[in-house]
Structure 1
Amino acid sequence: MADVNPEQGNEKTEEESQLQEAQQELETWKAKVKEADDVKTRLIFDKVDVDDVKTKAQKEMTDLLQKRDEAQREFAANMSRQEELVLTQQRRNQDLLEKRKTLQAKLEAAREESVRLRENFKVRVQVPDINVKFTRQAPEDHHQEGDFIRGVFVFRQMPSVLLRGGQALITFEEEQVASQILRLASCTVPCENMTVDVEPQKIRMNPWVQFEVHLNVSTKEVKVSNIPASCSEGRLEDRLEISLSRPSRGGGEVDSLVYDRETGTAHVTFLNPGVAEHLAIKGGYSVDLDTRVRVKIENIHRQELRQFQTFCASTKRTVLLDNIKNRVDEEELQDQLEIYFQKPGNCGGEIESLHYVPVGGAVRALFSNDTVKTEN
């Protein structure tokens, strides 16, 4: 049997103890390593999740930024369109205001022209007041051809233009010369030691009228006035008829007599023509009422306006010279104007007449029909 050394036994026990401690420590470290691996794995998974969330958030942020940029661009485009629409509307409103102002000016000018034309075309005729009393209807053949003295009067207004101070009218012998002068904007006329600028213009004439007055004077009818109401109406009519029927006083056989008590007048129709003319020429007549009374006798006439026409005309050979400054003597200026416009080099020609109105004056020029041409 072998001998066991006690020291060797103790050493072996210590080695086993150290080995056991080392194994325990190894197990501990293995557990820690495993735990660390678990933590690492968990962290790796957590990191992957965070990266996914981050990537998703970044993508959402990018999408939102793109949408914001698109919204800003769309907003800017809408603002630009709205501003353009506002500017367009403002320009349209301004154009409408200008158009309205122009139309108002034209309307005012048209109203003034209408007033002027109405004044020019007014025919002022004093028509006497006539009180008419209807007693019966006259037959259609009541008036024969010889019952009236007929007359037709033609009234023709002469074309005219008002010349004001600083204007002149010049009439050439040829229309072509007047046309040449009207093409010039202005003419410089030498006068002594200075020059005078004149502006040739087309004459604007006032419209003129022409009409006929048809006058029919009855050879059988008269109006008797200034009849006093001295008796009853029937008796008064009888006495008037008897008095007017006496040839010794210039009367004649009475066909009808109508008396108006309110006006003190009578409408008398004689049977034969000529009596009414004779009595109207005398103007008065003595009638026997309660006393002898002098009454007034007047013709019965009817007038009718016919063929009323208005015309606009322009001059053929006459030109208006305007804006003439009164710097020299009137006669001297008229002579220089005539000399200047006679020269062919100044587009002039032979002058028929020239009339200058000095500043401060005014005159109306009348034109004969052969010096104007009628316009539609």
Structure 2
Amino acid sequence: MSSDEDFSLVSEDDLQKVLKETKSFKIQHDGLLKENKLLREARDNNIKFADQFQQRSVQLRKNLDEEQKKHIEALKKDQEKLESVKKEKNKLMMELIEMEQELRKIEETNNSLKQQTEVSTAVPEKKVVFKGETGEGAQTLSFDMKPSITYPMEGGTALITFEDKEVAEKILSLKEHVVELGDCTIRVQAEAVSFLVPVSVEMDTQVCPRRILVSNLPRTESEERILDKLEIHFSKSRNGGGEVEDIDMLHDSGNAVITFMDNSISKGLTDKHFHDVEMEKGKKHKVKVTPFLNGEITSLQTHRIVCQKTVVLTGIPPVMEQDNLQDLLEIHFQKTANSGGEVDAIIYNPEGRTTLAVFEEDLPKEE
């Protein structure tokens, strides 16, 4: 078949139809391209929005973390402030407690001092009389005590007191002495005698709540009878007393100390001062009751003194009886040829024995 014949088979209408369809397809194609473009633009916008959202989300998370961090730091600071306030409160509470304790101590001391000021010296009365002598320092208060020092003597030693201190100085300067004892000779050494004595004593005294001091006791009764009568009298509640724990006699003063079981007894008895105690049947004796003071040494100053008239002889062997050897020593040191002089006192303590020598104040002799 020829080409003219093929072409002739397609009609005009068919051609128009094809063209129309082609145009339609082109329109659809353009529409699809446009739609595709819109979809791509929408996708790009979505991606862009997604990126922006992601960035905002990251920024929000970061801001949230920072806010949380700031919140935690602020909370921590508040906690530290709270702890600081608690510590300050505890410190103030402790200071308050210490101040209250100190105040109680001051009040106790105040009450004690007040109680002591109410005690009229808290010692038994002694009878005194003016004998015409005057002295300086009338406003001062002091205690004069007779010094008495107990000196433990070692074995094989002797104490010699001379009437003149110059003799004692000569004996000490020679140090070693040869003493003739009849058929034998001994060598002794002379040494100074020194003591550590108090110069100034300060005491803190407190009124004992359980004890009383009873003075003005009868001198005609025995000690045992006096203590029995005192205990009977002061143990009875009708006499203002109570259960007695202990009672002692102070032999140096002749007074008695009574200790009660209860702390509330002594105050009433001392306030009354004088009490009538039956010592014999039908006869009463007036005694005085004063507070008993406990003393504690708060300050003690001492210094060493050397006896000017007394020397100690050491290295004395037991060659004969004590009395004979003591007499021979006294005779030897009385002779001026042996640098001695008048002996005022002598005591010899043999080896293997112990004795106590009592030193008292060297008062000037009356002429």
Q: What's the TM-score bracket when you normalise by the shorter of the two chains?
A: 0.3 to 0.5
Q: TM-score, normalised by structure 1?
A: 0.39
Q: TM-score, normalised by structure 2?
A: 0.39
